Amino acid sequence: MIALDIFADPVCPFCLIGYERLNRALAERPDHPFRLAWHPFQLNPAMPREGMNRADYLQAKFGQDGAVRMHQQLLDIAAADNLPLDPLKVIRQPNTLDALRLVYWAGLEERGTAVMSGLMTAHWYEGRDIGDPRELVEIAKNAGLDAEMTARLLASDADRDTIATRDAHARERGITAVPTFIVSNTHAISGAQPKELWLQVIDELSGAPDGTVLN
């Protein structure tokens, strides 16, 4: 298997879009060589612990015109990719530290993809607050993790420093935006790339005797 390391934050819409496109490529190539691993990159590390109203967040970050353009861009992509994405469903902009802690714990049990997918689905498709520990426990349970243990871990400070260290290491490696995909710890692919690119990468890897991407 070939490592596909994915640096992401579940509240990044392009992480959702990029994952959906990748996942469609993987479905078309069920014998793909990838082993997915998720890594933290918190988009808004200064976000208050309790999160904030999303409309206020967008206004502060992008301004009124920028927020409207972002909304329309996401709607256009959702329509083109046939995704049930409506940004207006998202009412709260959460602090994602706890969500990323959950992804880390899930990865230790090989449930990282299930949990990250559950987080993005909850946030972007269902408008749930993934900063709420109750929502995180439900997502963990649906991904096959122990709900009681997850609740206890979330109520503690377990691995907060671990996530901060891993996030800082990603930035030291030169990662400045998400999603960023690292193939075999060598080749970086940034952004929500189309399914066709992933199909090409998979086909090239499948034909390369040493598992490297061909140029």
**Where are the chain's structural domains?**
2-43+97-207
- Sort residue 159 into left (φ over 0), alpha (ψ -120 to 50) or beta: left
Q: Which two tokens stand for residue 56?
A: 């206020």
pLDDT of 214 reads 42
Give tens-digit pLDDT for 123-154: 999 999 999 999 999 999 999 999 999 999 99
- Cβ neighbors of 89 (< 8 A, separation 6 or more) are 124, 125, 126, 127
Strand, coil or helix: 125: helix
Q: How confident is the model at residue 161 (pLDDT cuts 50, 70, 90)?
A: very high
DSSP letter (8 states) at residue 124:
I
Q: How far apart are CA 9 and CA 43, in angstroms?
A: 7
Is residue 10 within 8 A of residue 130, CB to CB? The reply is yes
In what helix (H) or strand (E) does residue 52 lie, and over which residues does it extend?
A: strand 52-53
Give tens-digit pLDDT for 55-112: 999 999 999 999 999 999 999 999 999 999 999 999 999 999 999 999 999 999 999 9
- Cβ neighbors of 194 (< 8 A, separation 6 or more) are 21
Please choose, from the candidates 149, 140, 142, the residue with its C-alpha nearest in 3D space to the C-alpha of residue 106: 140
Average pLDDT over residues 16-39: 98
Q: Does domain 2-43+97-207 have CATH number 1.25.40.80?
A: no
